[in-house]
Structure 1
Amino acid sequence: MRLLVATRNAGKLGELRRMLDGAGIAGVELLGLDEVPGFPEAPETGRTFEDNALAKARDAARATGLVCVADDSGLAVDELNGMPGVLSARWSGGHGEDGANNALLLAQLRDTPAERRGAAFVCTVALVAPGAAAGAGERVVRGEWRGRIAGSPRGAGGFGYDPVFIPAEEDARVAAGEDLDRLGAAPRSAAELAPGEKDALSHRGRALRLLLPELARLAGA
């Protein structure tokens, strides 16, 4: 089965590939938007992650005739009333300017004490079959990953807000004194986790795992 992932982000493609392999789901050829003929892509104007993910998946499935998976994800910061939210990728004005987005977020939280820096990564993933009427042949799932915003960026892995996001699991690990010799006494940011560790914890990983049974069915696995 050829499965279009409506993204040009190699990190997202790699994450889904690792999850399919880990679940033993074979026979799925993943394609990104750069690997299919171009088509008009509507701007992400939805008010929710679900709105944007469904719109992207429907457009791509309609244009290519392929089963399509699309996600919309972002960071919801408690102190900012859930923002940047659906504006996460363009929080600083441009689209996908990770360094500028992180710098702006840290500046906005500069005087916010640690106990009020809670946040969650949110990911909604939509699966749409070509030719499906709205609401039929569609599945939408959501995953969340709780944590907090660090005082400064840490780590060179991941993408987006990963360098400033400290997962709740890392704070719990350090508080419990677990793996201090191997992993260190400081909680790691999402950008400091190994790919497999991040897949097991992340918002996108949690959402994608909910889709694995449907992908296995479509692939005939």
Structure 2
Amino acid sequence: MIEWNRDAASIIQLLQMVIFFILLLVKRNKLGKGISYFIIASGILIFADMLIFAIRISTYRFNSVPIYTIGTSLVVFLMFFLYFHDVLELKKSKKLNLILTGVFLICYALFVVFSENFFTKFSLKFYIIEVLLLLGNIYLVLYETFNSNKILNIKSYYPFWICIGLMSIYLGVIPLMIIRNTAMEMMNINIFFIILFIVNILGYSILITGIFFARNINLKK
């Protein structure tokens, strides 16, 4: 019964991701610059999650870390950084984005070389690093947004919704990951997956909601 509930939650989450992906494709012309990168990232996430779910229900023991480490930690986050580079308008912000992207790639390479179990065991240290770098990009976008005329149309500015949605999804699970990795006895595995499910549902709900308000605005400071 417990396993069935987890599978049901995974199916609900996958359906929400598919709906989100379809809306991205249909409304892409209203979502602003660089949206192709975000669409690619979302497509890879759906493919990876579907693959992991399909293998998990057919195989009793399965390590999904390699799929996550390559598909999400590297490719998806790189697409996020490229997306933000297109969204940013100030030269200084774009340069900082490139620096953050370079740091991200260097850190990934260092973990690949020096961490023996990087592809077999979830790396909380690297996850925190990549999320912090992602937050750096989000800060740049929000800084430009709140210091330009875009603030007057913020509800219609989809990059703002993406920033809030990504913060909800990726920043929201860091406390869970820390508790699970440092004090596993304090957290029941079912509670962990329930909270993880809620965080993801909330994040994707924000991303979906933003699509219905979005207009392709290109206002300068």
User: Which band: TM-score by shorter chain?
Assistant: under 0.3
- Relative to the length of structure 1, the TM-score reads 0.27
| Higher share of residues assigned helix | 2
- Relative to the length of structure 2, the TM-score reads 0.27
